[in-house]
Amino acid sequence: MTELKIISKNRTEFLDITAVVQDRVSESGWQDGILLLFTPHTTAALTINENADPDVPADLLKTINKIVPFDDHYRHAEGNSAAHLKSSLFGAEQLVIVENGRLKLGTWQALYFCEFDGPRQRKIWLQFTGT
């Protein structure tokens, strides 16, 4: 297992981590298999979506913030219930195929770290199974 550190700058944001993950795959010499990405945080998530148009992650963030508002009379005393809900909706993990040492993503796909309770320093754990 290897660990990536992520630093978010905003309360909510989608950070494109594709290049950083690809660098780690290359450095580790991983060739063919499955890469599990997992973030051990209850107010963050991981997702795969379009990276060709920066409006796509912006629209995703705008919409999830509308669906799950920051203040909706939640009972959780810490005041970040919306972040917990968003994390559960997106999920803490992603699986990506690695082929010939490269992430096997679609033409327009990217890996995103989803920050819902920032700014913070975060972790992503990578576990590779294969050759």
Predicted pLDDT at 80: 92
Residue 54 CA to residue 61 CA, distance in Å, equals 11
Q: What are 31-61's pLDDT values in tens digits?
A: 999 999 999 999 999 999 999 999 999 999 9
pLDDT band at 20 (very low <50, low <70, confident <90, very high): very high
Question: The domain spanning residue 94 has which CATH number?
Answer: 2.60.120.460
Predicted pLDDT at 79: 80
State the average pLDDT over residues 11-19: 97
- Residue pointed to by tokens 């995703």: 60
Q: What are 84-129's pLDDT values in tens digits?
A: 999 999 999 999 999 999 999 999 999 999 999 999 999 999 999 9
Q: What does 47-73 look like in DSSP terms, one character per residue?
A: EEEE-SSTHHHHHHHHHHHHHS-S-S-
Q: Find the domain containing 100 and state its range.
A: 2-130
Q: What is the reported pTM?
A: 0.95
Q: Among the listed ranges 11-15, 19-23, 63-67, 72-76, which one has the minimum average pLDDT value?
A: 72-76
Domain count, the chain: 1
